Amino acid sequence: MPMFTLENNRLGLSISAGANRIALDDRLRQTTWVLDPGTAGFRPADPAQPYRDEIPGRTGLERRDLPPGQVRQTDQGLVVRYDLAQGPLEYRWTLGPDWVEVTLNTAPDQVAYAALPGSWRPDQGAWQLLLPIYQGILWRGDNHLWEATHNPGGHTGWSMAMGAYLGDRAGLLVTQESEADWAGTRGQRAEGPFFVFEQRRSIVEGWYPRQVRFYPVPADITAICKHYRARVQERGEFVPWAEKIRRKPIVAQLFGALMAFVGYNKTDQIDYAASARRLRSQGFERVFYSSVRMCQRTLDFKMGEDDPIWLSDEELAELKQVPGAFVGPWGWLYEALDDHSAAVQQIFRHGPDGRPVPNWRIDDFQWYEVCTPYVAAGMEERYRTDMAAMDWIHYDVVAMRPGLTCFNQGHHLHGGRPLSRRQGMEATRHLLGPEVNGNRVVSSEGFVDRYAMSCDIGSTKLMPRWGQAPHIPVPMTMLVFHDSCIHDWWELHNYNPHGNRGEAEDVGVGVNGAGQPEKKAAMDALYGLPPNLFPFGKQYGWIDMAARKSFSYLVKLDDPEVQRAIRAALPVCQLHRRVGQSELVSFAFASEDFALQTTQFADGTRILANLADDDRQSADHGPIPANSWRVLEA
């Protein structure tokens, strides 16, 4: 069979004349990776909704196989053209010193998604996947056929623009080079587990060139993540803690601090300053409290029949007088209630149909999305007024949005022209950056690696799993970004259980929820991260989430579960003061069932954790109690 090839002393790429076989040879590790043609396809646009913009968990569009391709050799590499009924689809393959890059050059407007280029598997032996879902998962495959497509971002989305295949002898790292207008599809085929980066037609810019790279690497979690870290640094997308502290000196206060959520609901049953003094007396020298005020455009709504939290100026001043207390609001300007005023309706984000985009709802209150540049303008104004005293901020869902489009023609902040996803991502970086927030620590729900340049804290993590679980959480984000960004728990997945928050909610790729403080403490110590408590305050929960019916409940410092969580959290704070600014240099499993895990930081600190619910025996370090961790001696 005639073959077209690109090669050097490390790599060999071969494409058959009809492009029905594409193979990548890793000559250092004597492994050949073969592209799965069943994943190398496209999805035609829906004629009824040709410009739909969002992915609600999967595309809903059927994947079509590619026809035979036409291959030609050029000075720039190998070009493969597929003549679809909708028009030509063209890829260009190029060879670097230790990577292969494929560019999607052109695609017809009638195509909504195109795989770039598909999923790989070794030509011999089994394989597993390393995917940056939440903090990262090692996925060993499962026994049923499925697939799902997700945007970058938190809550089952892609935390980083990468993924990897792990074979018996070698691994293959895949990096999504173009930052916007892509989604990650993962699933299980009869052949085994797969993932692929699908490029989506830009609803504003149409089809423009996109790139994905492939790096043959060792079949090792640390090596793969460090290779991606190097690529992030090459692209100029890595800002270390030292630089963030130079820009915002308050960031230095994060290391050794407790992250403390105090609820969204207003109550007169909690003395916040007195509770903070008591928490300090229990050993927490620095505490970042959120959310002491609800930063919305109006507080004229209810949650569980309560008003939103809003500490008075006097309460806020008293709380800030507690040594080591840092206060922050819940930054919820991303949405607004429609009060039918011109001022509010003017800032709404519009979809391609020219209408405001509805999103969150509680009881009978419906919010609509706000265009990102107007969120930033709104925050700048609030910092000059009722948010001036804030030391930090936690933004709702901002860092789990891969750049929002807007078609509101009245928006002068984007020139009255449609805002693309690429422009939306730049607007989000600006919103999260010091230009808007000044000398304040910035946190957001969700974790997107290309926002880590601006954001100090991202969130959403899975709880530990081990044994026969198909998905094993691993610290991928921190192997890349530990000396640049904190990966926190979602604000309601605190160490202490509360309200109707279950301790083990299955989210398909693992479990999360509130509670299990010793287990979470062991994981946070292993990853070198701060603990997260709900020590006191009031919060709403769901009677019936589908019907959006809510109730509220109170959490007090003396609650037994809070005190149990405090005991687990304090040593983690002390460890974080020691290692928080250091690079996480290695991670490894220390037992075949994944229960024992070890990490090492750049300062030499080594951590061993047992994440299982029963005691274990370490070959090198003796008995390790259930849900515990220890610092290993050098």
Instruction: Specify whether 361 is located in the same domain as 475.
Output: yes
574 vs 603: CA distance, rounded Å: 15
With CA atoms as reference, report the closest residue to 521 among 467, 455, 584, 567: 567
Residue 634: predicted pLDDT: 59
629 inside domain: no
Instruction: For residue 10, give the CATH number of its domain.
Output: 2.70.98
CB atoms within 10 A of CB 343: 9
Instruction: Specify whether 230 is located in the same domain as 245.
Output: no
Q: Using pLDDT thresholds of 50, 70 and 90, give the confidence band for residue 505.
A: confident
Instruction: Specify whether 223 is located in the same domain as 252.
Output: no
Mean pLDDT over residues 475-485, rounded? 98
**Could you report the per-residue pLDDT of 407-448, keeping only the tens digit for each?**
999 999 999 999 999 999 999 999 999 999 999 999 999 999
Report H helices in 293-402.
313-320, 342-345, 372-383
Mean pLDDT over residues 526-544, rounded? 96
212 inside domain: yes
Mean pLDDT over residues 348-352, rounded? 95
Instruction: Specify whether 488 is located in the same domain as 597.
Output: yes
pLDDT exceeds cutoff 80 at 589:
yes
Instruction: Specify whether 483 is located in the same domain as 611.
Output: yes
633 inside domain: no
DSSP characters over 323-343: TTEEEEEEE--SEEE--S-HH
* Contact in structure between 392 and 290 (CB atoms under 8 Å): yes
Mean pLDDT over residues 180-196, rounded? 95
320 inside domain: yes
**Could you report the per-residue pLDDT of 226-240, keeping only the tens digit for each?**
999 999 999 999 999
Domain end call among 186, 211, 234:
234
Q: Using pLDDT thresholds of 50, 70 and 90, give the confidence band for residue 36.
A: very high
Predicted TM-score (pTM) of this structure: 0.97
Residue 574 tokens read as: 């002390």
Instruction: For residue 291, give the CATH number of its domain.
Output: 3.20.20.70
**Could you report the per-residue pLDDT of 89-129, keeping only the tens digit for each?**
999 999 999 999 999 999 999 999 999 999 999 999 999 99
631 inside domain: no
Instruction: Specify whether 15 is located in the same domain as 46.
Output: yes
Mean pLDDT over residues 201-211, rounded? 96
pLDDT exceeds cutoff 90 at 533:
yes
Identify the domain containing residue 46 by its residue range: 3-234
Instruction: Specify whether 20 is located in the same domain as 167.
Output: yes
628 inside domain: no
Domain end call among 177, 202, 234:
234
pLDDT exceeds cutoff 80 at 193:
yes
* Contact in structure between 284 and 258 (CB atoms under 8 Å): yes
Instruction: Specify whether 189 is located in the same domain as 275.
Output: no
- Of all residues in the chain, the percent with pLDDT exceeding 90 is 90
Number of domains in the chain: 2
- Strand 549-555 to 584-589 pairing: unpaired
Residue 48: predicted pLDDT: 77
Residue 56: predicted pLDDT: 47
7 inside domain: yes
Instruction: Specify whether 155 is located in the same domain as 51.
Output: yes
Q: Using pLDDT thresholds of 50, 70 and 90, give the confidence band for residue 59.
A: low
Question: In Å, how far are 158, 333, 447, 512, 626 from 472, measured between CA atoms?
Answer: 16, 35, 19, 13, 17
211 inside domain: yes
Instruction: Specify whether 544 is located in the same domain as 497.
Output: yes
Q: How much is the mean pLDDT over the chain?
A: 95
Mean pLDDT over residues 512-526, rounded? 97
DSSP characters over 553-573: EEE-TTSHHHHHHHHHHHHHH
**Could you report the per-residue pLDDT of 254-293, keeping only the tens digit for each?**
999 999 999 999 999 999 999 999 999 999 999 999 999 9
Domain end call among 206, 234, 262:
234
What's the chain's Rg over C-alpha atoms? Answer: 25
CB atoms within 10 A of CB 311: 22
pLDDT exceeds cutoff 50 at 151:
yes
Instruction: Specify whether 315 is located in the same domain as 433.
Output: yes
Instruction: Specify whether 486 is located in the same domain as 464.
Output: yes
Q: Using pLDDT thresholds of 50, 70 and 90, give the confidence band for residue 305.
A: very high
